[in-house]
Structure 1
Amino acid sequence: MFLRNESFSEYISTYKAVSVLISICLFFYIWVYWFGFLGGNEIFALGVGWNFAIAMGEYWRLVTPIFLHGGLMHVMFNSFALFLFGPWLEAKLGISRFVMLFLGTAVIANIVTFLLQGPNYSHVGASGAIYGLFGVYLYIVLLRKDLMDQVSSQMIVTIIIIGVIMTFVNPGINILAHLFGLIAGAALAPLFLTGVSRWSNQLGSSNVHDPDDIGFDPKRWEKKRRIKEQLWFYIAGGAVAMIGFFWLIDTLFFS
């Protein structure tokens, strides 16, 4: 499910929504941090999720923080998470529903942040949307077991647990965005998964292959064993990368 075997061009042409969302995040990062003198600084100032400004009627700040980030590691972490966990959902939901889910869970997380945080609180990042995707996966693991194999379920649960723990480890994280993004994803999942089955593929592309699809392959079980080993390698690598990310943020900004 989460292993990417496509070439770069195949990935972009197959997972258009994920590719565009990642591109937007990277575009604004480059504009803000590399070309701030060409309007990037103004864009960041106008787009950051500042609760006081939202209270004054600047409601676009509930959406614009999704595409702004606090530095290279921040944008790379969220982009990698979207790159890895977005394609399967885009394939199942289709472009329009996937984008609605991504933006909807992020906006819900930002609204909760606005309502429960202080007036001077500000934030940026797509973490609410990323945790929204995790929320959908959590719903699938708990209530739509027909959509996901056991190995993938174990992997996603492990990632979610690590993510929630790391949310509380670092004081610089928007805890509310993470938690309510997760909750929003799980709550909206039944609506967005309506009509979705294990074999449905909204992309309609023959080059999208789920290793769990039914078909004759004499080496099927050997391949499944290798895939299981690779998945746990991804879990270990993701855990190390996540811990390293939060350690770096803590060292740079809170030490």
Structure 2
Amino acid sequence: MDISTPEAAAAHFAQRPDAELLYLARHASRYPPAVGAAAVAELQRRGLVPEAPAPSLAPAPAEAPRETWGQLLRQLGKGLFWPSPPYVAVPLLIDLNVLVWLLMVASGISPTDPAGRELAAWGSNVSSFTLHGQPWRLLTSLFVHGGATHLLLNMISLWLLGLMLEQRVGTWRVLAVYLASGLAASLATVWYHTAGINSMGASGAIFGLYGFMLALLLSKKMVLDKFDRRAMLGLVVYLILSNLISGITGNIDNIAHLGGLLMGLLIAGPAAVFTMPAEVLDGETKETS
């Protein structure tokens, strides 16, 4: 048997019966590689076994480049500070709060421990001013914070809950609840602290968002499956209780928290029934957080 060249092997196996060629192909490991290859080639020529598919000429898809930490941080920053539907209200509110703090720091105020008179100059809710010709402090105090830590904690809370809520109820409802609850929180604190108070911070407004979502979850006006509803309800209750408990011992105005929470609960009732979209229907200085 001459298989010294491909031509000789082809001529030899062209004369062999199908059964012999099939045996050689099936037991190719017992013979020199050229024997098995020649037997398969002859079987393919006779149409007894399929031709091997031709290798694809298309280039293999390039592996997607892995995102670096810098790219991930840029994306996070964009999602946090850059308004882009469906998230518009929350980034705008975060931007405004951060901007006021940056302007305060740029003016020479301590970034971590501003004085009460400095906070008052930037619009905090000072009873003696608010009740005597400066009612605008009820609103401006929502965007003034008593230091970087105060600001950071409030913005994290706003970001965590605000994005979940805005996605489900829309930008304008989040803005309306935030501002109405913030005003209610400011009114509650000047009403309760008759001896006078210097209060500031976004947490009264954020508590309004807590109350709004809590009412929607309990009334099942927000369409969620059972497990998501329980998880979100647990998160909201935890945030409410943890903030109220921390306010018992700290320099925190829990009355503002309760005022904002109550307003959020009150708004949620008629808002859920009449205005929800179809997909939703199924003296002392205190910080408000």
Q: TM-score range by the shorter chain?
A: 0.5 to 0.7
Amino acid at match of 1:9: K
- Structure 2 counterpart of 1:144, which letter? K
Give the secondary-structure state (helix, strand or coil) at the position aligned to 1:160: helix
User: Does the 8 Å CA contact 2:122/2:144 hold for their aligned counterparts?
Assistant: no
1:164 has 2:244 as partner:
yes
Q: Distance in 2 between matches of 1:75 and 1:183?
A: 23
What is the letter of the counterpart of residue 182 of structure 2?
A
Q: 2:89 aligns with which of 2, 6, 17?
A: 17
Of 266, 273, 278, the match for 1:187: 266
Q: 1:20 to 1:77 in 2, by over 3 A?
A: same
What is the correspondence of 1:1-255 to structure 2 with a 5 Å cutoff?
7-10=76-79, 12=82, 13-14=84-85, 15-36=87-108, 44-144=120-220, 146-148=222-224, 149-170=229-250, 172-194=251-273, 195-196=275-276, 199-200=279-280
* CA distance in structure 1 between the aligned counterparts of 2:249 and 2:221, rounded to whole angstroms: 31
Tell me how far 1:152 sits from its aligned partner.
Answer: 1.8
Hey, what's the Cα distance between the residues in 1 that align with 2:222 and 2:92? 30
Which letter does structure 2 place at the counterpart of 1:124?
Answer: M
Structure ranking higher on relative contact order (CA contacts 8 Å, 6+ apart) = 1
Give the Cα separation in 2 of the matches to 1:197 and 1:97: 11
One-letter code of the match for 1:24? L
User: What is aligned with 2:65?
Assistant: none
Deviation, 1:29, is 0.5
Cα deviation code 1:42-81 (max 9, x no counterpart):
7851411001011211110110000000000000111111
Identity across the alignment (%): 28
3-state secondary structure, aligned to 1:59: coil
The code of the aligned residue for 1:94 comes to G
Give CA-to-partner distance per residue, 1:181-219, whole Å, 9 cap, x none.
111111111133334368349xxxxxxxxxxxxxxxxxx
Q: 1:126–1:191: structure 2 CA closer, same or farther, 3 Å change rule?
A: same
Q: Deviations over 1:103-137 (max 9, x none)?
A: 00010110111112135311110010111111112
One-letter amino acid of the structure 2 residue matched with residue 27 of structure 1 = L
Question: Per-residue deviation at 1:141?
Answer: 3.2
Q: Distance in 2 between matches of 1:77 and 1:10?
A: 18
- Give the helix-richer structure, 1 or 2: 1
After superposition, give the CA deviation of every residue in 1:119-176 in whole Å (9 maximum; x if it has no partner).
5311110010111111112212322265342222222222222222122131x10111
- Structure 2: stretches of 5+ with no match in the other structure: 1-74, 282-289
Q: Deviations over 1:74-94 (max 9, x none)?
A: 001111111111012222222
Q: Is the 8 A contact 1:48 1:122 kept in 2?
A: yes
1:7 offset after TM fit, Å?
Answer: 4.8
Matched residue pairs, number?
194
Gaps of 5+ in 1: 1-5, 202-255
